[in-house]
């Protein structure tokens, strides 16, 4: 799958194009992998602008990259043999031949399918899960028993944050975009789930609904969306509250200048701490996170929530569902 042009606003199907080629025979130090699972993630939208941010933009007409888990078909590398499972950033394609490089650019890793299901390495045991862990514990400094407000709570990162807080004895106020998502979150232990779209239409808006749900305020806000949700969070954070800013998906497809929350002065008045972060700068915490995750998954205290789509031709529709909200948990493409 290639990017045909840089999208303006919400991407469209004709912004992408499919090409066909055969993977080359592996040379010394290379492996050929057949992908089994592909990941689509919101951060990919930022690479579709032609502008370099913390990651380089996709090149027009070149194969796009994204998270993938696959099986080694052929190997010319001493550390890999046929049948090994591998994760990489060589997604959005059915197969590839590449030189083995252990770097953030390739994210290539031999994985154990007996420790976690292969697709979990793209979700709860991979980048989205680590994002939740780092943001909650390393950035926000969560302490057992605290109250955490989570936006984008039904997504891959948000739903993991919610479950980690509940597993560690905290209270979760979750923000999601539909009644069905709110029911889904509450069925997984969330204390109170709020449909922010409905809340915006009520007297007092989202801020008042959060206040009613948590009169004493919240200790931590885990930011995935931005905009009105950030404003409501600022109104409800306790003094010395913390914000872990993981993303602001509400602005990724905006074609107009975004207006900042009107109450940023609360950062000063409440002595709030706000810190953005990029998970690739915190890879050293992955072993600790997986060690914490494994028993929680085994005992059912945490569930791996996945929405599947089948076939490479569904990669674009699945990607667009990240912005329409037509999924819960991690979006995975099965090949």
Q: Looking at the domain 127-280, which fold is it? A: Rossmann fold (3.40.50)
Instruction: Summarize the confidence of residues 4-10 as an average pLDDT.
Output: 91
* Phi, psi for residue 248 in degrees, rounded to 5: -140, 70
Among the residue ranges 78-82, 106-110, 271-275, the one predicted with the least confidence is 106-110
pLDDT of 53 strictly over 80: no
Instruction: Summarize the confidence of residues 215-240 as an average pLDDT.
Output: 96
Instruction: Summarize the confidence of residues 304-332 as an average pLDDT.
Output: 92
Judging by beta carbons within 10 Å of its beta carbon (0-12, 13-18, 19+), is residue 53 exposed, middle or buried? Answer: exposed
pLDDT of residue 102: 81
Asked whether the domain spanning 127-280 has the same topology as the one spanning 2-123+305-334, the reply is: no
Average pLDDT score, the chain: 93
CATH top-level class of 2-123+305-334 = alpha beta
Indicate the domain borders of the chain: 2-123+305-334, 127-280
pLDDT of residue 50: 85
pLDDT of 106 strictly over 80: no
Better pLDDT: 125 or 102: 125
127: nearest Cα among 45, 65, 40: 40
pLDDT of 52 strictly over 90: no
310: nearest Cα among 331, 326, 333, 330: 333
pLDDT of 288 strictly over 80: yes
pLDDT of 255 strictly over 70: no
- Gap between the Cα atoms of 133 and 160, Å rounded: 8
pLDDT of 266 strictly over 80: yes
Count Cβ atoms below 10 Å from residue 62 Cβ, excluding itself: 10
pLDDT of residue 103: 77
pLDDT of 251 strictly over 90: no
- Gap between the Cα atoms of 127 and 331, Å rounded: 13
pLDDT of 256 strictly over 70: no
- Gap between the Cα atoms of 13 and 268, Å rounded: 44
């Amino acid at each position: 799958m290639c990017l045909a042009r840089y999208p303006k606003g919400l991407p469209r199907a004709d912004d992408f194009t499919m090409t066909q080629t055969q993977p080359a025979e592996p040379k010394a130090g290379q492996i050929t992998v057949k992908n089994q699972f592909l990941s689509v993630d919101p951060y990919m939208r930022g690479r579709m602008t032609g502008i370099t941010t913390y990651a380089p933009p996709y090149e027009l007409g070149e194969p796009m990259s994204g998270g993938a888990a696959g099986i080694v078909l052929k190997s010319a590398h001493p550390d890999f043999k046929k049948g090994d499972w591998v994760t990489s950033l060589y997604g959005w394609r059915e197969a590839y031949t590449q030189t083995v490089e252990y770097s953030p650019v390739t994210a290539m890793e031999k994985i154990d399918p007996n420790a976690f299901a292969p697709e979990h390495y793209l979700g709860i045991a991979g980048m989205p899960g680590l994002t939740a862990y780092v943001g909650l514990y390393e950035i926000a400094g969560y302490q057992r028993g605290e109250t955490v407000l989570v936006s984008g709570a039904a997504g891959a990162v948000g739903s993991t944050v919610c479950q980690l807080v509940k597993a560690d004895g905290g209270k979760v106020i979750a923000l999601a975009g539909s009644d069905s998502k709110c029911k889904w979150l509450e069925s997984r232990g969330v204390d109170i789930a709020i449909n922010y779209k409905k809340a915006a239409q009520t007297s007092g808006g989202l801020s008042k609904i959060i206040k009613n749900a948590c009169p004493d305020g919240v200790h931590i806000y885990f930011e995935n969306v931005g905009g009105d949700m950030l404003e409501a969070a600022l109104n409800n954070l306790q003094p010395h509250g913390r914000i872990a800013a993981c993303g602001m998906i509400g602005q990724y497809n905006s074609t107009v200048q975004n207006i900042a929350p009107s109450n940023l002065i609360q950062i000063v008045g409440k002595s709030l701490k706000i810190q953005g972060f990029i998970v690739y700068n915190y890879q050293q915490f992955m072993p600790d996170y997986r060690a914490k995750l494994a028993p929680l998954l085994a005992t059912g205290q945490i569930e791996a929530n996945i929405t599947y789509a089948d076939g490479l031709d569904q990669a674009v529709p699945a990607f667009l569902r990240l912005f329409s909200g037509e999924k819960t948990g991690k979006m995975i493409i099965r090949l």
